[in-house]
Structure 1
Amino acid sequence: MSKQRETIHIVIATDNHYAILLAPLIKSVQANHKTGEQIAFAIIDNGISKLNIQKLRSMVDGNDYTLSFHEMESVLPRDMHLPIDGTGMPQITYMRMFAPYIVGNTAKRVIYLDVDMIVNRDISELWSVELDGRTVGCVQDHSATVSCEWAGIPNYRELGLDPETKYFNAGLLVIDIEKWKNENIPQKILTCVEENKDSLLLADQYALNVVFANSWKELDHRWNCKAGVDVKDPFIMHFIDIKPIYSSYNGSQFYKNEFFRYLKMTPWADFKIVPNYVRVFRKGFYKVKKTVKKIFALK
């Protein structure tokens, strides 16, 4: 009897607008994976069209790679409600905290990736990093510490945190599933958001940094490199700000070239750059949608 292959579990959350970003991300993982593990992509789906799902499914063979879709509403526990914050970020960003709950009972860990990433390294190297008994491994954000005015924790003093406490970017998480579940991290995140809503910056990234302050495993910074900073030899490129699909993209040209190199290997090979007004409208739409939800929630 042949030995069963290990499975690397990767969870990504997206809506239909950013389904196009998912394609080169998947392709980049495939192109750089050289070891023998099976890779299981699990997508938390907030309205991806049937056509886009069909295109994405055509990229996997069902043997070395599998692709499953999980509707956002079905992943969210019945007794939990996503926060309606004042940021311009979509609510689906909070869904990363449920990544450990959709990969099956035999999985020991899971990698969560933001959809706006490109993987330039064998994902098995990230899969095998040591967490040294910590619940989560991540990369320090370019904002560096909780005292950063534009991306940190504004009320760090009230929370008893030293201003030099390191602050991580939540776009990449390597999660110990058993510890995450035992510590009931989703409830801790939602409680943190509710208790600190007047200080909330960057949605769940704020809460994750509060919950895991001084207790996360720091990974090599090359596993999460912001396109605007242009770190050399990036293992994972992260288009945190303006995405390369927009005409107003202002990050690294090399990162953009890599994005389109992988995109051309997908069913979106003929994609044309999107005007910037679409991006601006989209961010405004998220804010209006949250405002309307908040109004109805108060009634």
Structure 2
Amino acid sequence: MNKISMFLICDDNYVPYMATMIASICSNTESFLEFHVIGKGISEENKLKIQLMNNDIKNFSIDYKVFDVTSNCDIPYLILSRMTSSTFIRMMLPDLYPEIDKSVIMDVDMIALQDISGLWNESLDDCIFGAALDFPLGAYYGFKKKMDINEDCSYANCGLMLIDCKKWRDEKITEKCLKIEKEYRDKLTCADQDVINKVFLGNFKILDCKYNSLLGNEDDIIIRHFCYLRKPWLSKYNIEGELIKNFDDWWKYAKMTPFYNKLVQEYDTFNKNDDNSASKAIKNYREIENKNIAMMLRKKISLRGKNV
């Protein structure tokens, strides 16, 4: 049986979502999955719960590594406090796992809807990593301009990356990323994603968006990424008051985990006294800014697959 190596960045608070993602991947994939979890640390209780999933889902192994960016990197607390510090781990992963030569990185707000073996077998065409294009938010918020990236340059969504870890190490990409972070740290909007895109300047393999579907509008989706819009563990509706695509799929896989009851309780608490109207759907969610993003995405979705 083929083995697929996967890096997951997670702390204890996000374990239920990570477990849901693991259940989705393993349920849809015939290959054996080797999950390498890294972050500030996972409690022994939560590790045990994930291990219990092995009783019913046999095709995975999991190990854990503790790595705290604040203690190991020269990145000021001010920067880390306004961004999720763990995301900066992404640009260091190949060096933190020197024994691994190829891996997939996935954010934990994703689920697999089909076998991911096709992703694993994708050719990188001599590139160091592959990723789907991000939405064209660069022009909207000036991400690229702030990072001195040409507007015509492809910009990767780094929530999912297929990486040649050996080439990453050989080309000293981590060192280059840390240098760029230091130079542009006051201009970062998307943390490590800005840094990685600045280092590579479009020199990456563009993967089909079916491997990282941000809105769920594509046909034949393999991996759904609940990115930018409201998360399915919080609401049934996005910030425009519309049903989140693949909401039921996410909860189907959540039910396969030992965290299901807790997730239901948290969902009910969050939605208490919520009538699920469009106005309620954007409550407490940076209403104006995020609604503008959603409207812009509707207009720009036709650009999917083009350089942005």
Q: Quickly name the TM-score band, shorter chain normalised.
A: 0.7 to 0.9
Task: Return the structure number with greater strand share.
Answer: 1
Distance apart, 1:87 and its partner CA: 7.0
Aligned to 2:225: 238
For residue 238 of structure 2, the aligned residue among 250, 261, 265 is: 250
* Aligned partner of residue 175 in structure 1, secondary structure: strand
1:103 to 1:247, Cα distance in 2 relative to 1, 3 A: same
1:141 to 1:196, Cα distance in 2 relative to 1, 3 A: same
For residue 27 of structure 2, the aligned residue among 6, 31, 35 is: 31
Aligned to 1:71: 66
Q: Is the 8 A contact 2:10 2:108 kept in 1?
A: yes
TM-score by length of 1: 0.79
Identity %: 28
For residue 206 of structure 2, the aligned residue among 218, 221, 236 is: 218
Distance apart, 1:149 and its partner CA: 3.1
Aligned to 2:180: 192
Q: Is 1:16 matched up with 2:5? A: no
Distance apart, 1:232 and its partner CA: 3.7
For residue 95 of structure 1, the aligned residue among 85, 89, 92 is: 89
What CA distance in whole angstroms lies between the structure 2 residues aligned with 1:55 and 1:79? 29
What CA distance in whole angstroms lies between the structure 2 residues aligned with 1:71 and 1:79? 11
Q: Which segments of 5 or more consecutive residues in structure 2 lack a partner in the other structure?
A: 273-282, 287-308
Aligned to 2:113: 120
Q: Is 1:178 matched up with 2:166? A: yes
Q: Which segments of 5 or more consecutive residues in structure 1 lack a partner in the other structure?
A: 284-299
Distance apart, 1:100 and its partner CA: 2.1
Q: Is the 8 A contact 1:82 1:94 kept in 2?
A: no
Which amino acid in the other structure matches residue 48 of structure 1?
I
Per-residue CA shift, 1:121-153, capped at 9, x if unaligned?
212111110000000100001126xx5232632
What CA distance in whole angstroms lies between the structure 2 residues aligned with 1:19 and 1:199? 30
In angstroms, what is the RMSD of aligned CA positions?
2.9
Aligned to 1:7: 3
Larger displacement relative to structure 2 (203-212 or 268-277):
268-277
1:88 to 1:235, Cα distance in 2 relative to 1, 3 A: farther
Q: Is 1:138 matched up with 2:125? A: no
